Chain A
């Protein structure tokens, strides 16, 4: 069960990594810091999700 959860999280993480990778690739290619900065709200959302999820698991 734990192994399945780790694989599942890794797969999901790799999708996010591909998405962020494409955006960072474009930002570097065009030397535009603004394009890279557009990822900030998404990263903040992931951080909130991680924190809330962790808090819930510690309560359970």
Chain B
């Protein structure tokens, strides 16, 4: 319990520092929109998982609201804000194309931050996971998808609200959610095969229509997920490492492409 307090106090201090940073660099309006919006988004996400899916639990977390520990949405804001700051430093978005790239890099960033924190939590019993095919002491590879899709949907909504991305990207977030919902409901056995298949088709078609690049990334990820499910004897860490290598290769190619495009424009 004492070790859980160390985690909660650290998150609390980091959260306060981030609010001060946001107020100093972006003003109260952005801070209010980002932090309140992020909290509500994280809260709704966790409420959905706690109420309908139950693939993980937080038995020891204090201060719960509608069965959701308030520190978990705060943890989501932590991820979103760091992603916002560091991806801004990486690409300095100006055009719509840049903001689409921003969403991709933010999703990558969330996978980098997810594995350390989930590994620590899993080994310290801060929260307990089920249905995740754990076979070593590294956080399950399947969590990377969960963190990245959450980040993509959040930034699609946020940038649409800030008028940086068009309405189509909001639709992209919606169809991505349909895809995730179908898998979640199938896992929790709320729907049968045909219900799952119809939702999958709707999700994939909608995603391809509105953003081919992120859809391609999720398709590659899903391919690795199926390999993971087929070859359960291969250590989970191997799949985590393979995904990180793929992400870095993609990042290098993408940054090079952005660099060359900027040089041509000049």
Residue numbers of A with Cβ under 8 A of B are: 4, 7-8, 11-12, 14-16, 18-19, 21-23, 25-27, 29-30, 32, 34-35, 38-39, 41-42, 44-46, 48-50, 52-53, 56
Contact assessment for B109 and A45 in the assembled complex, using a CB-CB cutoff below 8 Å: yes
Contacts of A46 in B (CB 8 A): 86
Q: Nearest Cβ in chain B — how far from A11, in angstroms?
A: 4
Cα distance, A19 to B75, chains bound together (Å): 11
Contact assessment for B20 and A22 in the assembled complex, using a CB-CB cutoff below 8 Å: no
Which of B21, B85, B92, B138 sits near A34, CB closer than 8 Å? B138
Contact assessment for B112 and A45 in the assembled complex, using a CB-CB cutoff below 8 Å: yes
Using A22-B7, A34-B138 as known contacts, say yes or no to A48 and B24 having CB atoms under 8 A apart.
Answer: no
Cα distance, A14 to B108, chains bound together (Å): 22
> Which residue in chain A gives the minimum CB-CB distance to B255?
A52
In the complex, identify which listed stretch (B95-103, B113-121, B210-218, B222-230) lies at the interface while the others stay far away: B113-121
A-B complex: 8 closest residue pairs judged by Cβ atoms:
A26-B120, A11-B21, A38-B116, A42-B112, A18-B14, A23-B116, A41-B112, A49-B90
Contact assessment for A4 and B24 in the assembled complex, using a CB-CB cutoff below 8 Å: yes
Which of B89, B111, B112 sits near A53, CB closer than 8 Å? B89
Using A34-B137, A41-B244, A53-B89 as known contacts, say yes or no to A15 and B82 having CB atoms under 8 A apart.
Answer: yes
Residue numbers of B with Cβ under 8 A of A are: 3, 6-7, 10, 13-14, 17-18, 20-21, 24-25, 78, 82, 85-86, 89-92, 108-109, 111-113, 115-117, 119-120, 123-124, 137-139, 237, 244, 247-248, 251, 255
Contact assessment for B123 and A26 in the assembled complex, using a CB-CB cutoff below 8 Å: yes
Q: Nearest Cβ in chain A — how far from B175, in angstroms?
A: 28
> Which residue in chain A gives the minimum CB-CB distance to B90?
A49
In the complex, besides A22-B120, A44-B248, 20 extra interface pairs with C-beta distance below 8 angstroms are: A7-B24, A8-B24, A11-B20, A18-B10, A19-B113, A19-B117, A25-B6, A26-B3, A27-B120, A34-B237, A38-B139, A41-B111, A41-B112, A41-B248, A45-B108, A45-B112, A49-B86, A49-B89, A50-B89, A53-B89
